[in-house]
Amino acid sequence: MNNTVLSRYEELAQHAHTQWQQSGRNDKIIIQVGSATCENAAGATEVWREFERNIQASGRDDIILHQVGCTGRCSREPIVGVLMPGRMPVKYQRVTRDSAHQIFSRHIQGGEPVAELTLDQTMPRLKRQVILCEARHCGTRGDEDIFTVFQDEINRAGLDPEENTLIHVGALGFCSIHRKMISTCVMVRPENTVYFVKDRKDVQEIIAQHLVEGQIVDRLRCQEDPISLRFFDLYGDAAFFNRQTRISLRNAGVINPESLYEYIHYNGFRALSLSLSNGDPDWLVERVLESKLRGRGGGGYPTGRKWKDAHRHANDQRYLICNADEGDPGAFMDRSMLESDPYSVIEGMIIGGYAIGATRGFFYVRAEYPLAIKRIEKALAECRKHGLLGQNILGSDFSMDLEVRLGAGAFVCGEETALIHSIEGERGQPRIRPPFPTESGLWGKPTVINNVETFANIAPLLLYGSDWFASVGTEFSGGTKVFALAGKIQHTGLVEVPMGTTLREVVYNIGGGIPGGKQLKAIQTGGPAGGVIPAEYLDMPIDFDTLGRLGSIMGSGGMIVLDEDDCMVDVAKFFMTFCQGESCGKCTPCREGTKRMLEILERITMGKGEMEDLDKLERLASLVKNTSLCGLGRAAPNPILSTLRHFRDEYEAHVKEKRCPARKCKTLIHYEIDPAKCVGCTMCARNCPTNCISGGRKEVHVIDQVECIKCGRCFDVCRFDAVNRK
């Protein structure tokens, strides 16, 4: 029977490959257009239609318009990739209808990339690119730095350095294959050949044969299919991407999220077929334990242990739930994963179901994510059609089905027991644990709840080895974490880095730092349940434990960058407003405590606070933290406690001096016009909504402080910097 599973899978895989071949992908031009909520909001649908029209008008049949998910390069969307056979892929940013037309006529018809529209303005002259991995597993024998060796040899061979570039990337993620020998991973584009280079001799051989002659050096070549090959093939030259390690987001922006065959073509469902043919759920649980995978939803509970707990409790029925109720404001990795690669989450869930013996599983998705819901539904239907879901999956004796249940905008439903109540059709209120859901969960049966990202990690972990997965992260936490980088940062978007990467790497090397020459003040992690990390801890490696020690949490991975213009008391107030509004009202500490804490914060930001308010706030915060019923209440005071811990001086400035150092709290600031700078252009007076600015043309203007509502419009519109915020 085990052979049945494998042969059934091979049949599917064969079919997928045939489809791939038949589509003529290898020798046609491919135009990739992103298609996630964010891409569409940025105008991707318009761009898609424009390309459609252009292709039709040109009458060419050698162009494929390919829909892909989102890569997570949010601030530059919509992103369009143009792949021509034998050429380096070119990506365009912020494409509009007009620029789509330009790209089509100049690049696709004319053959010359439109340099000024490309992502990061990477040189479209590029013929070949050598990418060196600098992950900690990569290294060479001897003391020569492989990068310099490559540089030397390229020069010596007389190659044009503008056409043949050399770059370093954070990690190619190919370590799974070569970990037993000392060598460096090198990828040569556009052929996307991966080599393992040990010394100068190898370098010379690659340059002489591959770069000069265009012949692949078989002796040094990696024969397997490394996990992020496709990703780096497409995005390896963009600075934002090449410092990342993509495991759970491996297919995002690479495959068509609505095509099962494309997913299978990139090794999709292979891990499932291996698990089913192995026939031993305990073996699976052991692998997950070994990989040190910890729950990505925020708690960081070891996934393997959770599975083991559920498996231990004998019962005729067990349930598996995928928590896609991504309620943290500022986190969007789950949405992106479900929209860009729904099959990998489904595969993770079926494997999970097999491991714990669940025959029914649920996706609990936010109703605010309509596109994600549509894509999951479609993916589930495809899986059922191909025998990957339902009765006797892939011909094995394991049966399981998945269904979608919608949330309805309650943050507390991210809590396990509240989520269970919500699926049961009740008000989403939590209950006391124990019993934990792994013992008594949905309808009283053992239930495992894992996050979207956790499930997306399951297939690669099995396919490339649990020891490899463990080696990617830190001692107690394996693998990578996806962060949703947003706020005051150059490059907003999704960043997947190994556990233990420093904040500096994420914020500066990947995120590109703070725009406008401003100073970084703090980084807020973990959403409303998290805390702030001041700029001085930038070199702290990030994982569950280090963030906890700093008074914050990993949470689901939202990372909001705050600069000097952000007031920390105001930030604490923002989160408290959120938690207060989301408190379900079941237990008193959370229901009443959040309200009182919010009142105190409001008092402080209004300039009516007293020093004893700070003590009260601290006492109340620790009370709520210690006595609330569920995780939401227990974590609600975190933003206050962590801002008080790291930014007490800001609180004191509000209370003692009635001053907001960041000039954010409205009641504590006022606007003034500098007579020396004002030229009397009347711009401010014309824009003032309350008409409280007086002064004629070419006269110095004055703001009437009594009438002023401090909307700041004069400050924004003045072109002479004459309006001061004090």
Partner 1 sequence: MDVKVTDNRDEVFSKSKEALTPEIVAFIEDCTQKQHPNSHLINVLHKVQGHFGYLGKEQLDAVAQLLQVPTAKVTGVATFYHFFRLEPRGRFVINICLGTACYVKGAERVCERLCDELGIHVGETTPDGMFSLEGTRCVGTCGLAPVVLVNDTVFGEVTPDQIPALIESHIKKAQAMEKESVV
For position 330 contacting partner 1 by CB under 8 A, the verdict is: yes
- Report how far residue 330's alpha carbon sits from residue 336's, in angstroms, rounded to the nearest whole number: 13
- With CB under 8 A as the contact rule, the residue among 367, 657, 698, 705 that binds partner 1 is 367
Q: Which part of the chain contacts partner 1 (CB under 8 A), choosing from 34-42, 79-87, 181-189, 607-615? A: 34-42
Could you give the string, one character per residue 582-621, with x where binding to partner 1 holds by CB under 8 A and - elsewhere? --x-------------------------------------
Nearer Cβ to partner 1 (153/326): 326
Binding mask 331-350 for partner 1 (x = CB under 8 A): xx--xx--------------
- First-to-final CA distance of the chain: 76
560 near partner 1, rule: CB under 8 A: yes
Rounded CA-CA distance 73/77 in Å is 7
Show the binding pattern over residues 73-112: x = contacts partner 1 (CB under 8 A), - = does not. -xx-x-----------------------------------
Contacts to partner 1 from residues 418-437, by CB under 8 A: 422-429
Distance CA 682, CA 718 (A): 9
For partner 1, the binding residue among 64, 115, 159, 711 (CB under 8 A) is 711
- The interface with partner 1 within residues 681-700 (CB under 8 A) comprises 689
Does 487 help bind partner 1 (rule: CB under 8 A)? yes
Binding flag, residue 527, partner 1 (CB under 8 A): yes
156, with CB counted inside 10 A (0-12, 13-18, 19+), is exposed
Stretch (H or E) spanning 402:
strand 401-406
Tokens found for residue 153: 């040899």
Choices 214-222, 255-263, 567-575, 614-622; region in contact with partner 1 by CB under 8 A: 567-575
Distance CA 647, CA 249 (A): 35
Q: Does 253 bind partner 1 (CB under 8 A)?
A: no
* Shortest spacing between CB 425 and partner 1, in angstroms: 4
Dihedral sign, CA of 23, 29, 34, 40? negative
Helix 303-312 × helix 281-290 angle, to 10°: 150
Closest CA to 459 of 296, 348, 320: 348
Q: Are 609 and 603 in contact (CB under 8 A)?
A: yes
Minimum CB distance to partner 1, residue 579 (Å): 12
Backbone angles phi, psi at 703, to 5 degrees: -95, 130
Compare residues 570 and 613 and give the one whose CB is closer to partner 1.
570
- Choose one: 96-104, 487-495, 591-599, 667-675; the region binding partner 1 (CB under 8 A): 487-495
Q: In the set 46, 152, 233, 368, which binds partner 1 (CB under 8 A)?
A: 368
Provide, rounded to whole angstroms, the least separation between the CB of residue 520 and partner 1.
Answer: 13
Say if residues 411 and 582 touch (Cβ distance below 8 Å).
yes
Minimal distance in Å, beta carbon 369 to partner 1? 7
Q: Looking at beta carbons only, is 330 or 348 nearer to partner 1?
A: 330
Q: How far is the CB of 421 from partner 1 (least distance, A)?
A: 10
Q: Alpha carbon of 574 to those of 479, 601, 655, 665, 710: distances in Å? A: 32, 10, 18, 12, 19
Q: Which residues pair with 165 in a beta bridge?
A: 129
Instruction: Return d(Cα 314, Cα 372) in angstroms, integer.
Output: 34
The distance of closest approach from Cβ of residue 288 to partner 1 in the complex, given in angstroms and rounded to an integer, is 28
470 is an interface residue for partner 1 by CB under 8 A: no
CB of 675 to partner 1, least distance (A): 26
Q: Which token pair is 6?
A: 């494998």
Q: What is the DSSP string of 512-563?
A: ---GGGPPEEEEEESGGGSEEEEGGGTTSBPSHHHHHHTT---TT-EEEEEE
Q: Which is nearer to partner 1, 35 or 277 (CB)?
A: 35
Q: Does 239 bind partner 1 (CB under 8 A)?
A: no
Is 307 an interacting residue with respect to partner 1 (CB under 8 A)?
no
Q: Is 486 in the site for partner 1 (CB under 8 A)?
A: yes
7-15, 255-263, 283-291, 569-577 -> range binding partner 1 (CB under 8 A): 569-577
Binds partner 1 by CB under 8 A, chosen from 436, 476, 508, 574: 574
| CA atoms within 13 Å, Cβ hemisphere of 256 | 15
Size, binding site for partner 1 by CB under 8 A: 60
Helix axes 370-385, 342-356, angle to 10 degrees: 60
281 binds partner 1, rule: CB under 8 A: no
DSSP annotation string for 272-293: HHHHHHH--HHHHHHHHHHTT-
- Give me the residues that bind partner 1 (CB under 8 A), please: 37-38, 40-42, 74-75, 77, 326-332, 335-336, 367-370, 405-411, 422-429, 443, 484, 486-488, 492-493, 524, 527-528, 558, 560, 562, 566, 571, 574-575, 578, 584, 689, 711-713, 716
